[in-house]
C-alpha cells in the first residue's frame, strides 16, 4: 500500500529498514540514508511508532499506580507489549519485502516531518 520508491536506492536498504523499526535506532537510517526515500519513510514511520509507544507506556505507568487497577494494568501491559513487538516484526517483514505497513492514524504523521 502506498509504495513510492523514488530517488536513490541504498545498498544497505534491508539493514536500514530493519533499523527503522528498532525504536531509537531509527535515527540511524533517518540521518544516514537521506537519498533513499523508501528508507526515509520507514525511518519516520518507526520514529512515529516509537513516540506513540512512549506516550502509551507513560499512560500505562500512571494508571498502574491507581489502587485496585495496578495488577490488572500490569497484566494488560504484558499483552500490549507482545502486541507492540508483533507490530514491529510485521513492519520489518513488510518493509524488507518492499511494502509498507501503514498503521492507521500513526502513519499519517510520517509524511508531516
Which residues are CB-contacts of 59 (< 8 A; sequence separation ≥ 6)?
none
CA distances in angstroms from 14 to 20, 24, 29, 37, 38, listed in the order given: 10, 17, 11, 13, 11
Q: Where are the domains of the chain?
A: 13-103
**How many C-beta neighbours within 10 Å does residue 70 have?**
12
Q: pLDDT tens, position by position, for the chain (113 residues)? A: 444 445 677 678 889 999 999 988 999 999 998 888 899 999 999 999 999 999 998 988 888 888 888 778 878 888 988 999 999 999 999 999 989 988 888 888 887 77
Amino acid at each position: 500500500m502506498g509504495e513510492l520508491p523514488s530517488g536513490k536506492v541504498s545498498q544497505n536498504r534491508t539493514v536500514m529498514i530493519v533499523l527503522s523499526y528498532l525504536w531509537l535506532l531509527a535515527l540511524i537510517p533517518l540521518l544516514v540514508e537521506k537519498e533513499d526515500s523508501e528508507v526515509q519513510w520507514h525511518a519516520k514511520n518507526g520514529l512515529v511508532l516509537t513516540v506513540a509507544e512512549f506516550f502509551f507506556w507513560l499512560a500505562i505507568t500512571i494508571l498502574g499506580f491507581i489502587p485496585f487497577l495496578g495488577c490488572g494494568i500490569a497484566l494488560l501491559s504484558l499483552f500490549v507489549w507482545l502486541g507492540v513487538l508483533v507490530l514491529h516484526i510485521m513492519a520489518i517483514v513488510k518493509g524488507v519485502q518492499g511494502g509498507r505497513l501503514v498503521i492507521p492514524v500513526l502513519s499519517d504523521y510520517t509524511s508531516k516531518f
